[in-house]
Structure 1
Amino acid sequence: MLYVNENGHIYADRIKIKIFNNIEHEKMDAVNGIVVHQTSAATASSTFHSYQNKGATGAHFLIDKDGTIYQTASLFKVTWHVGRLQSRCFITKKCEPTDLKKVTELEKSWRNNDKVHEIEKVKNYPDRFPSNIDSIGIEIVGEATKTENQKQFIYEPVNDLQNDSLKWLIKELSTTLNVSMK
Protein backbone atom coordinates (compact mmCIF):
# COMPACT_ATOMS: atom_id res chain seq x y z
CA MET A 1 0.00 0.00 0.00
CA LEU A 2 1.28 3.45 -0.94
CA TYR A 3 1.48 6.44 1.39
CA VAL A 4 -0.42 9.42 -0.04
CA ASN A 5 0.08 12.75 1.75
CA GLU A 6 -2.48 15.55 2.20
CA ASN A 7 -1.49 17.05 -1.19
CA GLY A 8 -2.15 13.81 -3.06
CA HIS A 9 1.55 13.09 -3.55
CA ILE A 10 2.94 9.58 -3.13
CA TYR A 11 6.12 8.93 -1.24
CA ALA A 12 7.68 5.67 -2.41
CA ASP A 13 11.20 4.73 -3.43
CA ARG A 14 10.09 3.89 -6.97
CA ILE A 15 8.29 7.21 -7.59
CA LYS A 16 9.88 10.60 -8.25
CA ILE A 17 7.70 13.63 -7.55
CA LYS A 18 7.71 16.13 -10.45
CA ILE A 19 4.41 18.01 -10.23
CA PHE A 20 3.16 20.23 -13.08
CA ASN A 21 0.43 22.57 -11.88
CA ASN A 22 -0.68 23.31 -15.47
CA ILE A 23 -2.06 19.79 -15.88
CA GLU A 24 -3.95 19.80 -12.57
CA HIS A 25 -7.56 20.92 -12.67
CA GLU A 26 -10.56 20.67 -10.35
CA LYS A 27 -10.79 18.35 -7.36
CA MET A 28 -11.32 14.66 -8.14
CA ASP A 29 -14.04 13.25 -5.90
CA ALA A 30 -13.69 9.53 -6.72
CA VAL A 31 -11.35 7.21 -8.56
CA ASN A 32 -13.13 4.56 -10.63
CA GLY A 33 -10.36 3.55 -12.99
CA ILE A 34 -6.76 3.68 -14.10
CA VAL A 35 -6.19 4.61 -17.74
CA VAL A 36 -2.89 3.87 -19.49
CA HIS A 37 -1.65 5.82 -22.53
CA GLN A 38 1.49 6.34 -24.57
CA THR A 39 2.84 9.84 -24.96
CA SER A 40 3.54 10.01 -28.71
CA ALA A 41 6.80 11.67 -27.65
CA ALA A 42 10.28 10.17 -27.86
CA THR A 43 11.46 11.39 -24.45
CA ALA A 44 10.16 12.20 -20.99
CA SER A 45 11.67 15.68 -21.22
CA SER A 46 9.62 16.51 -24.32
CA THR A 47 6.46 15.44 -22.48
CA PHE A 48 7.48 17.49 -19.42
CA HIS A 49 8.02 20.46 -21.72
CA SER A 50 4.47 20.13 -23.08
CA TYR A 51 3.10 19.94 -19.50
CA GLN A 52 4.37 23.49 -18.93
CA ASN A 53 1.96 24.99 -21.47
CA LYS A 54 -1.19 26.66 -20.18
CA GLY A 55 -4.18 24.33 -20.62
CA ALA A 56 -1.92 21.34 -21.23
CA THR A 57 -3.22 17.80 -21.26
CA GLY A 58 -1.38 15.37 -19.04
CA ALA A 59 -1.62 12.42 -16.70
CA HIS A 60 -0.92 11.74 -13.04
CA PHE A 61 2.12 9.57 -13.80
CA LEU A 62 4.72 9.24 -16.52
CA ILE A 63 6.90 6.14 -16.98
CA ASP A 64 10.19 6.86 -18.74
CA LYS A 65 12.02 4.43 -21.01
CA ASP A 66 14.40 3.48 -18.19
CA GLY A 67 11.41 2.50 -16.02
CA THR A 68 11.53 5.63 -13.84
CA ILE A 69 8.07 6.53 -12.55
CA TYR A 70 7.31 10.25 -12.18
CA GLN A 71 4.24 11.53 -10.39
CA THR A 72 3.27 14.63 -12.35
CA ALA A 73 -0.08 15.54 -10.73
CA SER A 74 -1.86 15.15 -7.41
CA LEU A 75 -4.07 12.10 -7.00
CA PHE A 76 -6.72 14.50 -5.70
CA LYS A 77 -6.86 16.54 -8.92
CA VAL A 78 -8.41 15.91 -12.33
CA THR A 79 -6.03 15.75 -15.28
CA TRP A 80 -7.07 15.84 -18.92
CA HIS A 81 -5.77 12.50 -20.15
CA VAL A 82 -8.89 10.77 -21.48
CA GLY A 83 -10.05 11.82 -24.91
CA ARG A 84 -13.57 11.40 -26.23
CA LEU A 85 -15.51 8.68 -24.43
CA GLN A 86 -16.70 5.70 -26.40
CA SER A 87 -20.00 4.04 -25.65
CA ARG A 88 -19.43 1.43 -22.96
CA CYS A 89 -22.73 -0.33 -23.57
CA PHE A 90 -22.07 -0.49 -27.34
CA ILE A 91 -18.56 -1.90 -26.96
CA THR A 92 -19.56 -4.42 -24.28
CA LYS A 93 -22.77 -5.25 -26.18
CA LYS A 94 -24.93 -4.54 -23.12
CA CYS A 95 -27.03 -1.55 -24.22
CA GLU A 96 -30.60 -0.94 -23.23
CA PRO A 97 -32.77 -0.70 -26.37
CA THR A 98 -33.01 3.12 -26.25
CA ASP A 99 -29.23 3.53 -25.85
CA LEU A 100 -28.53 0.93 -28.52
CA LYS A 101 -30.64 2.78 -31.08
CA LYS A 102 -28.96 6.15 -30.34
CA VAL A 103 -25.42 4.86 -30.28
CA THR A 104 -25.60 2.35 -33.16
CA GLU A 105 -26.21 5.09 -35.70
CA LEU A 106 -23.53 7.34 -34.22
CA GLU A 107 -20.90 4.59 -33.97
CA LYS A 108 -21.10 3.96 -37.72
CA SER A 109 -19.12 7.13 -38.40
CA TRP A 110 -15.99 8.37 -36.63
CA ARG A 111 -17.27 11.87 -37.29
CA ASN A 112 -19.92 11.32 -34.63
CA ASN A 113 -17.50 10.62 -31.78
CA ASP A 114 -18.26 14.06 -30.29
CA LYS A 115 -21.96 13.14 -30.17
CA VAL A 116 -21.21 9.76 -28.55
CA HIS A 117 -18.99 11.53 -26.02
CA GLU A 118 -21.80 13.97 -25.15
CA ILE A 119 -24.18 11.06 -24.50
CA GLU A 120 -21.63 9.15 -22.42
CA LYS A 121 -20.24 11.96 -20.28
CA VAL A 122 -23.56 12.59 -18.54
CA LYS A 123 -23.84 8.96 -17.45
CA ASN A 124 -22.64 7.81 -14.06
CA TYR A 125 -19.91 5.26 -13.65
CA PRO A 126 -20.15 2.23 -14.20
CA ASP A 127 -22.62 2.95 -17.02
CA ARG A 128 -19.77 4.73 -18.82
CA PHE A 129 -16.03 4.22 -19.01
CA PRO A 130 -13.87 6.08 -16.48
CA SER A 131 -13.23 9.63 -17.67
CA ASN A 132 -11.02 12.56 -16.71
CA ILE A 133 -13.17 13.32 -13.67
CA ASP A 134 -12.76 9.90 -12.06
CA SER A 135 -9.63 8.16 -13.30
CA ILE A 136 -5.90 8.16 -12.70
CA GLY A 137 -3.86 8.57 -15.87
CA ILE A 138 -0.55 6.88 -16.55
CA GLU A 139 1.53 7.88 -19.58
CA ILE A 140 4.27 5.64 -20.96
CA VAL A 141 6.96 7.38 -22.99
CA GLY A 142 6.75 6.06 -26.54
CA GLU A 143 7.04 7.79 -29.87
CA ALA A 144 4.33 7.46 -32.49
CA THR A 145 5.18 7.52 -36.18
CA LYS A 146 3.07 7.47 -39.29
CA THR A 147 4.23 6.70 -42.80
CA GLU A 148 2.46 7.81 -45.94
CA ASN A 149 0.87 4.38 -46.41
CA GLN A 150 -0.40 4.07 -42.85
CA LYS A 151 -3.76 5.40 -41.72
CA GLN A 152 -2.96 5.17 -38.02
CA PHE A 153 -0.01 6.01 -35.81
CA ILE A 154 2.30 3.16 -34.86
CA TYR A 155 3.74 3.42 -31.34
CA GLU A 156 7.14 2.12 -30.44
CA PRO A 157 6.87 -0.97 -28.24
CA VAL A 158 6.74 -0.57 -24.47
CA ASN A 159 9.98 -2.04 -23.12
CA ASP A 160 10.47 -4.49 -20.22
CA LEU A 161 11.55 -1.77 -17.76
CA GLN A 162 8.42 0.25 -18.53
CA ASN A 163 6.20 -2.82 -18.26
CA ASP A 164 7.68 -3.79 -14.89
CA SER A 165 7.12 -0.27 -13.55
CA LEU A 166 3.60 -0.16 -14.99
CA LYS A 167 2.60 -3.48 -13.43
CA TRP A 168 3.98 -2.40 -10.04
CA LEU A 169 2.30 1.02 -10.20
CA ILE A 170 -1.11 -0.34 -11.24
CA LYS A 171 -1.01 -2.98 -8.49
CA GLU A 172 -0.08 -0.40 -5.85
CA LEU A 173 -2.59 2.21 -7.03
CA SER A 174 -5.44 -0.29 -7.29
CA THR A 175 -4.77 -1.46 -3.72
CA THR A 176 -4.24 2.01 -2.25
CA LEU A 177 -7.22 3.64 -4.01
CA ASN A 178 -9.45 0.54 -3.89
CA VAL A 179 -9.88 0.48 -7.68
CA SER A 180 -11.15 -2.76 -9.15
CA MET A 181 -8.93 -4.44 -11.72
CA LYS A 182 -12.04 -4.94 -13.87
Structure 2
Amino acid sequence: MFRIDKDGMIRSVRVEARRFPSLERGDMPMVNGIVVHQTGGSTAQSTFNSYRDSAIGAHFLIEKDGRVYQTASLYKRANHVGLLRSRCLERHACAPAELKRLQGTSLRTRSRMEHAKAFPDRFPSNRDSIGIELVGEYTRNPDFGTVRGADEFLYVAVTDQQNAALRWLVGELRRALKVAAKEVYRHPQVSYKTPTEAASASW
Protein backbone atom coordinates (compact mmCIF):
# COMPACT_ATOMS: atom_id res chain seq x y z
CA MET A 1 0.00 0.00 0.00
CA PHE A 2 1.29 3.48 -0.84
CA ARG A 3 0.31 7.01 0.03
CA ILE A 4 -0.05 10.02 -2.27
CA ASP A 5 1.50 13.28 -1.09
CA LYS A 6 0.11 16.79 -1.59
CA ASP A 7 1.91 17.09 -4.94
CA GLY A 8 0.37 13.91 -6.34
CA MET A 9 3.55 11.89 -5.96
CA ILE A 10 3.53 8.35 -4.57
CA ARG A 11 5.46 7.65 -1.42
CA SER A 12 6.56 4.00 -1.55
CA VAL A 13 9.84 2.09 -1.55
CA ARG A 14 8.61 0.47 -4.77
CA VAL A 15 8.32 3.74 -6.72
CA GLU A 16 11.18 6.10 -7.60
CA ALA A 17 10.26 9.71 -8.39
CA ARG A 18 11.60 10.97 -11.76
CA ARG A 19 9.17 13.83 -12.27
CA PHE A 20 9.16 15.74 -15.60
CA PRO A 21 7.07 18.92 -15.19
CA SER A 22 7.10 19.33 -18.99
CA LEU A 23 4.73 16.33 -19.22
CA GLU A 24 2.13 17.91 -16.94
CA ARG A 25 -0.55 19.71 -18.91
CA GLY A 26 -2.89 21.09 -16.22
CA ASP A 27 -4.99 19.88 -13.33
CA MET A 28 -6.75 16.50 -13.37
CA PRO A 29 -9.37 16.58 -10.61
CA MET A 30 -10.92 13.21 -11.51
CA VAL A 31 -9.35 9.93 -12.66
CA ASN A 32 -11.71 7.58 -14.51
CA GLY A 33 -9.29 5.13 -16.09
CA ILE A 34 -5.80 3.75 -16.57
CA VAL A 35 -4.12 3.23 -19.96
CA VAL A 36 -1.17 0.84 -20.39
CA HIS A 37 1.42 1.58 -23.10
CA GLN A 38 4.78 0.38 -24.42
CA THR A 39 7.47 2.94 -25.10
CA GLY A 40 8.97 1.87 -28.41
CA GLY A 41 12.46 2.20 -26.85
CA SER A 42 14.63 -0.45 -25.23
CA THR A 43 15.60 1.30 -21.98
CA ALA A 44 14.12 3.59 -19.35
CA GLN A 45 16.89 6.10 -20.04
CA SER A 46 15.86 6.45 -23.69
CA THR A 47 12.37 7.37 -22.49
CA PHE A 48 13.72 9.86 -19.94
CA ASN A 49 15.79 11.44 -22.72
CA SER A 50 12.71 11.85 -24.91
CA TYR A 51 10.72 13.34 -22.02
CA ARG A 52 13.20 16.20 -21.70
CA ASP A 53 12.21 17.51 -25.14
CA SER A 54 8.58 16.42 -25.38
CA ALA A 55 5.17 17.27 -23.97
CA ILE A 56 3.99 13.71 -24.65
CA GLY A 57 4.41 11.09 -21.95
CA ALA A 58 2.76 9.12 -19.17
CA HIS A 59 2.58 9.22 -15.39
CA PHE A 60 4.63 6.04 -14.82
CA LEU A 61 7.39 4.06 -16.49
CA ILE A 62 8.17 0.42 -15.70
CA GLU A 63 11.66 -0.80 -16.67
CA LYS A 64 12.20 -4.33 -17.99
CA ASP A 65 13.55 -5.43 -14.60
CA GLY A 66 10.35 -4.26 -12.88
CA ARG A 67 11.61 -0.95 -11.47
CA VAL A 68 8.78 1.59 -11.28
CA TYR A 69 9.32 5.30 -11.90
CA GLN A 70 6.74 8.05 -11.46
CA THR A 71 7.26 10.68 -14.14
CA ALA A 72 4.23 12.96 -13.59
CA SER A 73 1.91 13.94 -10.76
CA LEU A 74 -1.32 12.00 -10.30
CA TYR A 75 -3.05 15.36 -10.01
CA LYS A 76 -1.94 16.52 -13.47
CA ARG A 77 -3.02 15.58 -16.99
CA ALA A 78 -0.49 14.01 -19.34
CA ASN A 79 -0.72 13.63 -23.11
CA HIS A 80 -0.54 9.87 -23.51
CA VAL A 81 -3.76 8.70 -25.21
CA GLY A 82 -3.84 10.48 -28.58
CA LEU A 83 -6.90 10.33 -30.82
CA LEU A 84 -9.79 8.74 -28.96
CA ARG A 85 -11.76 5.84 -30.41
CA SER A 86 -15.55 5.99 -30.41
CA ARG A 87 -16.74 3.97 -27.43
CA CYS A 88 -20.16 3.27 -28.87
CA LEU A 89 -18.65 2.07 -32.17
CA GLU A 90 -16.21 -0.23 -30.38
CA ARG A 91 -19.06 -1.61 -28.24
CA HIS A 92 -21.54 -1.79 -31.16
CA ALA A 93 -23.90 0.37 -29.13
CA CYS A 94 -24.29 3.63 -31.07
CA ALA A 95 -27.73 5.14 -31.35
CA PRO A 96 -28.85 5.31 -35.02
CA ALA A 97 -28.51 9.11 -35.14
CA GLU A 98 -24.95 9.01 -33.79
CA LEU A 99 -23.98 6.16 -36.08
CA LYS A 100 -25.12 8.29 -39.02
CA ARG A 101 -23.06 11.25 -37.78
CA LEU A 102 -19.95 9.05 -37.45
CA GLN A 103 -20.16 7.60 -40.95
CA GLY A 104 -17.60 9.07 -43.31
CA THR A 105 -15.86 11.16 -40.62
CA SER A 106 -12.10 11.27 -40.17
CA LEU A 107 -10.45 9.75 -37.09
CA ARG A 108 -9.61 13.26 -35.88
CA THR A 109 -13.25 14.34 -36.18
CA ARG A 110 -14.42 11.22 -34.37
CA SER A 111 -11.94 11.95 -31.59
CA ARG A 112 -13.26 15.51 -31.24
CA MET A 113 -16.80 14.16 -31.04
CA GLU A 114 -15.75 11.75 -28.29
CA HIS A 115 -13.95 14.43 -26.30
CA ALA A 116 -17.18 16.45 -26.25
CA LYS A 117 -18.90 13.64 -24.33
CA ALA A 118 -18.94 13.09 -20.60
CA PHE A 119 -17.48 9.92 -19.11
CA PRO A 120 -18.60 7.08 -19.24
CA ASP A 121 -20.10 7.75 -22.67
CA ARG A 122 -16.51 7.96 -23.93
CA PHE A 123 -13.28 6.13 -23.10
CA PRO A 124 -10.95 7.67 -20.50
CA SER A 125 -8.85 10.34 -22.20
CA ASN A 126 -5.84 12.52 -21.45
CA ARG A 127 -7.99 14.65 -19.19
CA ASP A 128 -9.07 11.85 -16.85
CA SER A 129 -6.72 8.87 -17.07
CA ILE A 130 -3.40 7.71 -15.69
CA GLY A 131 -0.83 6.51 -18.23
CA ILE A 132 1.62 3.68 -17.50
CA GLU A 133 4.47 3.02 -19.94
CA LEU A 134 6.25 -0.32 -20.11
CA VAL A 135 9.75 -0.17 -21.57
CA GLY A 136 9.62 -2.21 -24.75
CA GLU A 137 10.79 -1.68 -28.30
CA TYR A 138 9.14 -2.70 -31.53
CA THR A 139 10.56 -4.19 -34.71
CA ARG A 140 9.35 -4.11 -38.28
CA ASN A 141 7.15 -7.09 -39.08
CA PRO A 142 8.75 -9.19 -41.87
CA ASP A 143 5.25 -10.18 -43.03
CA PHE A 144 4.16 -6.57 -43.53
CA GLY A 145 3.29 -5.93 -47.16
CA THR A 146 3.29 -9.63 -48.09
CA VAL A 147 0.67 -11.08 -45.75
CA ARG A 148 -2.78 -9.53 -45.87
CA GLY A 149 -3.69 -7.78 -42.64
CA ALA A 150 -0.17 -7.97 -41.16
CA ASP A 151 0.72 -5.02 -38.94
CA GLU A 152 3.78 -2.97 -39.84
CA PHE A 153 5.35 -3.18 -36.38
CA LEU A 154 5.51 -5.79 -33.62
CA TYR A 155 6.19 -4.94 -29.98
CA VAL A 156 8.40 -7.19 -27.86
CA ALA A 157 6.77 -9.23 -25.10
CA VAL A 158 6.43 -7.63 -21.68
CA THR A 159 8.78 -9.25 -19.13
CA ASP A 160 7.56 -11.22 -16.12
CA GLN A 161 9.11 -8.58 -13.84
CA GLN A 162 7.21 -5.82 -15.65
CA ASN A 163 3.92 -7.68 -15.37
CA ALA A 164 4.44 -8.28 -11.65
CA ALA A 165 5.13 -4.57 -11.12
CA LEU A 166 2.19 -3.62 -13.35
CA ARG A 167 -0.21 -5.82 -11.38
CA TRP A 168 0.92 -4.21 -8.13
CA LEU A 169 0.77 -0.65 -9.52
CA VAL A 170 -2.62 -1.01 -11.21
CA GLY A 171 -4.07 -2.60 -8.10
CA GLU A 172 -2.79 0.19 -5.87
CA LEU A 173 -3.92 2.94 -8.25
CA ARG A 174 -7.36 1.41 -8.61
CA ARG A 175 -7.73 1.24 -4.85
CA ALA A 176 -6.44 4.75 -4.17
CA LEU A 177 -8.25 6.47 -7.05
CA LYS A 178 -11.39 4.28 -7.10
CA VAL A 179 -10.98 3.22 -10.73
CA ALA A 180 -13.23 0.37 -11.92
CA ALA A 181 -11.49 -2.78 -13.20
CA LYS A 182 -13.25 -2.46 -16.58
CA GLU A 183 -11.70 1.01 -17.08
CA VAL A 184 -8.11 -0.27 -17.36
CA TYR A 185 -7.09 -0.56 -21.03
CA ARG A 186 -4.23 -1.28 -23.38
CA HIS A 187 -3.46 1.76 -25.51
CA PRO A 188 -4.79 0.30 -28.80
CA GLN A 189 -8.18 -0.32 -27.16
CA VAL A 190 -8.84 3.39 -26.69
CA SER A 191 -6.75 4.98 -29.46
CA TYR A 192 -5.48 4.19 -32.96
CA LYS A 193 -2.19 2.46 -32.18
CA THR A 194 -0.22 -0.63 -33.25
CA PRO A 195 -2.36 -3.59 -32.07
CA THR A 196 0.58 -5.42 -30.46
CA GLU A 197 1.40 -2.50 -28.12
CA ALA A 198 1.14 -3.88 -24.55
CA ALA A 199 -0.57 -6.99 -25.95
CA SER A 200 1.28 -9.20 -23.46
CA ALA A 201 0.74 -6.86 -20.50
CA SER A 202 -1.15 -8.48 -17.61
CA TRP A 203 -2.79 -6.95 -14.59
TM-score scaled to structure 2, two decimals?
0.84
Query: Runs of 5+ in structure 2 lacking a partner?
Result: 145-150, 183-203
**Aligned position for 2:39:** 39
2-side partners of 1:152 and 1:171: how far apart?
33
* Correspondence 1:9-158 to 2 at 5 A: 9-53=9-53, 55-106=54-105, 112-147=106-141, 149-150=143-144, 151-158=151-158
Query: Runs of 5+ in structure 1 lacking a partner?
Result: 107-111
Aligned length: 176
1:120-171 residue CA offsets vs partner (Å, 9 max, x unmatched): 1111100000000000000000001114642421001001000000011000
TM-score scaled to structure 1, two decimals?
0.93
Q: Which amino acid aligns with 1:98?
A: A
1:92-140 residue CA offsets vs partner (Å, 9 max, x unmatched): 111111111122433xxxxx21111111111110000000000000000
2-side partners of 1:48 and 1:27: how far apart?
22
Q: Which amino acid aligns with 1:78?
A: R
1-side partners of 2:109 and 2:3: how far apart?
40
Question: What SS does the corresponding residue of 1:25 show, helix, strand or coil?
Answer: strand
1:142–1:157 contact (8 Å) kept in structure 2? yes
The farther-off stretch of 148-157 and 135-144 is 148-157
1:90–1:104 contact (8 Å) kept in structure 2? no
4+ runs deviating over 4 angstroms: none
Query: 1:2: how far off?
Result: 2.4
1-side partners of 2:80 and 2:35: how far apart?
8
1:68–1:165 contact (8 Å) kept in structure 2? yes
Question: What SS does the corresponding residue of 1:158 show, helix, strand or coil?
Answer: coil
Question: What SS does the corresponding residue of 2:26 show, helix, strand or coil?
Answer: coil
